[in-house]
Structure 1
Amino acid sequence: MSTPIDAAVHPVRFEHSDAFTIAGIGGRFTAATISSIPELWQRFEPHIGRVPGQVGTYTYGVCCNADGKGHFDYIAGVQVADGDVVPADFQQVHLKPQRYAVFEHHGSLDNLKATFQAIWNDWLPASGEQAAHAPEFERYGKDFDPFDSRSVMEIWLPLQTRPN
């Protein structure tokens, strides 16, 4: 018997994305150093809207290259049309076509960890879905304010393709 899915962590939609590239400032993190990610965003903020080849106004926080031992790369960036023209000190991640469950996080980033825990520990096991070995990302609109309790951002969880 499956556990009911809590509406607070139910996906707002499922998406299939085409391939795209995110470029920005990145670093390697662990659970012990994750609190340094806001500093990475502060370093990236002056570049938003000025990155050569930037596509659209969304910003992305991409988690990738997890090693299974708690280490992962995080890139604060924007979508770019051509990774060859971005600054040399930027990191890039190329996301392949992928199916995602898209969740919304409401409020400041102070309780973002709880939203991620609810997705991974409550929704995913009860959903019948399986996470894919692909980058997951946060997507922020141009009006997002990390300190505003009314702000909304999206969490895109990569899912394995279902058999036909």
Structure 2
Amino acid sequence: QLGYDSQESFTRAFKSRYYVKPGKYRRLGLHFAVTQKKRLCKKDPIGLKGGIRMEPKIIHKSAFKVIGLKYYGNDPANNCPKLWRDFMERHTEIENVISAKESYGLMCTGEEDFIDGKFDYIASLAVSTLERIPEGMVGAEVPEATYAVFTHKGKLDSLQDTYEYIYGKWFQNSEYEPVGLNEFELYDERFTGKEDSEFDIYIPIKKKR
């Protein structure tokens, strides 16, 4: 581990420097090297999406519940699209749905997660109760939190650029840092999969010490 006495110490040092664990860094396909804090400027191409600065909204969101299909592994590029297809075929089985027009891609992580890049991901809908979960599905409760909400614009194949901006630039220059728990994507009527597509990325945050 490059001079570190354990995987744990390496992970701790990496997260302290880049605000993301090594496993998640690999999973998102990130490739940033930050040597010092840099001022964000209008000429920064990663910080711009369609000519609009991608500054997040800071919001507080109450706890909510979801039911959906879960994937666990380290190959999201090949498995998560199938997960969503399977979920869309079965989503009408879920009762007590709050809004069928909003779906959630929830990453349920803890301190022990992202080992070898593996993670839990749930394609889901928000519900009013976790009773009567359909067979083969799971329920989860997302705790109350403060979020930085980023809007990804364009096709999914440019999503890596958005995450590189979030973790490689915005958090490096922000007064906030990610909490590391229960990050999620919110898909609504804006999501088309085309050039004009949009969806929101919610990252739980706290003030830096």
Q: TM-score, normalised by structure 2?
A: 0.70
Q: Structure 2: 5+ residue runs without aligned partners?
A: 1-35
| 2:173 pairs with one of 126, 143, 147 | 126
Q: What is the rounded CA distance, in whole Å, between the counterparts of 1:65 and 1:59 in structure 2?
A: 19
Once the two structures are superposed, residues 9-33 of structure 1 have per-residue CA deviations (whole angstroms, 9 ceiling, x without a partner) of 7433111000001210111121xx1
Match for residue 150 of structure 1?
196
Q: What is the rounded CA distance, in whole Å, between the counterparts of 1:161 and 1:127 in structure 2?
A: 9
Once the two structures are superposed, residues 133-152 of structure 1 have per-residue CA deviations (whole angstroms, 9 ceiling, x without a partner) of 32100001134222x11011
SS in structure 2 of the partner of residue 60 of structure 1: strand
Q: Is the contact between residue 63 and residue 141 of structure 2 (CA under 8 Å) also seen in structure 1?
A: yes
In structure 2, the CA distance between the partners of 1:89 and 1:16, relative to structure 1 (3 Å rule), is same
Once the two structures are superposed, residues 109-155 of structure 1 have per-residue CA deviations (whole angstroms, 9 ceiling, x without a partner) of 11112211221111111112111132100001134222x11011000
Aligned-residue offset at 1:2: 4.1
Q: Is the contact between residue 29 and residue 71 of structure 1 (CA under 8 Å) also seen in structure 2?
A: yes
SS in structure 1 of the partner of residue 98 of structure 2: strand
Query: How many percent identity over aligned positions?
Result: 26
AA paired with 1:4?
R
AA paired with 1:20?
F
Q: TM-score, normalised by structure 1?
A: 0.87
Q: What is the rounded CA distance, in whole Å, between the counterparts of 1:12 and 1:123 in structure 2?
A: 9
Match for residue 42 of structure 1?
85
Q: Structure 1: 5+ residue runs without aligned partners?
A: none
Q: What is the rounded CA distance, in whole Å, between the counterparts of 1:162 and 1:153 in structure 2?
A: 27
Aligned-residue offset at 1:4: 2.0
SS in structure 2 of the partner of residue 84 of structure 1: coil
Q: What is the rounded CA distance, in whole Å, between the counterparts of 2:152 and 2:120 in structure 1?
A: 21
What value does the CA root-mean-square deviation take over the aligned residues?
2.1
Q: Is the contact between residue 138 and residue 154 of structure 1 (CA under 8 Å) also seen in structure 2?
A: yes
Is 1:21 the counterpart of 2:39? The answer is no
Between Structure 1 and Structure 2, whose CA radius of gyration is higher? 2
AA paired with 1:149?
E
- The count of residues paired between Structure 1 and Structure 2 equals 160
Q: Is the contact between residue 28 and residue 73 of structure 1 (CA under 8 Å) also seen in structure 2?
A: yes
The answer to which structure, 1 or 2, has the higher relative contact order (CA under 8 A, 6+ apart) is 1
Match for residue 60 of structure 1?
104
Q: What is the rounded CA distance, in whole Å, between the counterparts of 1:144 and 1:94 in structure 2?
A: 24
Q: What is the rounded CA distance, in whole Å, between the counterparts of 1:122 and 1:135 in structure 2?
A: 21
AA paired with 2:96?
G
